[in-house]
Amino acid sequence: MTARLNRQAGVTLVELILSMVIISVALVGILSVMNLTVSHSADPVVQHQAVAIAESYLEEILLQHYSGGASSGRADFDDIDDYNNLLDNGVHDQNGTAIAGLSQYTISVSVSAPIAQEGGVNAKQISVSVSGPGVSGLTLVGYRADY
């Protein structure tokens, strides 16, 4: 009879632990990248929302008359000077009614004194700033000429 060699099949305990450590480190790396990606996935939507708010305020103001009389409330604003130093906590429409779901934004408006342009035309600079969750210091600037 020939002697048979009994060979061991499988892995040792050291090999098993080493492979578990390597797989764990790889999973932690992958999951941390996924966590970072998911936590910032809504940032472009929030930025776009803030830009849309600023654009709507700026458009509302630019459509008003260059100058006019004093107004008592937001619904009576009829010229761009009425919007100077406007501070809205929460987004409001042109009548001053709060828009549901946008209460976390703060909008501030400033209107400059007339600036002389070429040809004797005066213009006022209108700055609309929006801040809110994930957005700080977003400012859109427009000019309204006296024509």
* pLDDT at residue number 39: 78
126 contacts 143 by C-beta, under 8 angstroms = yes
How far apart are the C-alpha atoms of 49 and 110, rounded to whole Å? 21
| Average pLDDT, rounded, for the chain | 88
Residue 4 has what pLDDT?
A: 64
CA distance 93 to 85: 17
- What single letter denotes the amino acid at residue 75? A
User: How many residues can be counted in the chain?
Assistant: 147
Q: Which residues contact 43 (CB under 8 A, 6 or more apart)?
A: 134
Tell me the C-alpha distance between 97 and 90, whole Å. Answer: 10
Token pair in block for residue 55:
């654009």
What are the CA-CA distances from residue 136 to residues 28, 92, 131 (Å)? 32, 19, 5
Round to whole Å and give the CA distance between 74 and 146.
22
pLDDT (tens digit per residue) in 31-90: 999 988 887 777 788 889 999 999 999 999 999 998 878 788 888 888 999 999 999 999
Provide mean pLDDT across the span 104-133.
Answer: 92
For 29, other C-beta atoms within 10 Å of its C-beta total 10
pLDDT of residue 128: 96
Greater model confidence, 54 or 1 = 54
* Residue 120 confidence (pLDDT): 85
| 43-145 CATH pick, 3.30.420, 3.30.1300, 3.40.50, 3.90.75 | 3.30.1300
> What is the rounded distance in angstroms from the CA atom of residue 32 to the CA atom of residue 39?
11
Would you say residue 3 has pLDDT above 60?
A: no
Q: Binning pLDDT at 50, 70 and 90, where does residue 10 land?
A: confident
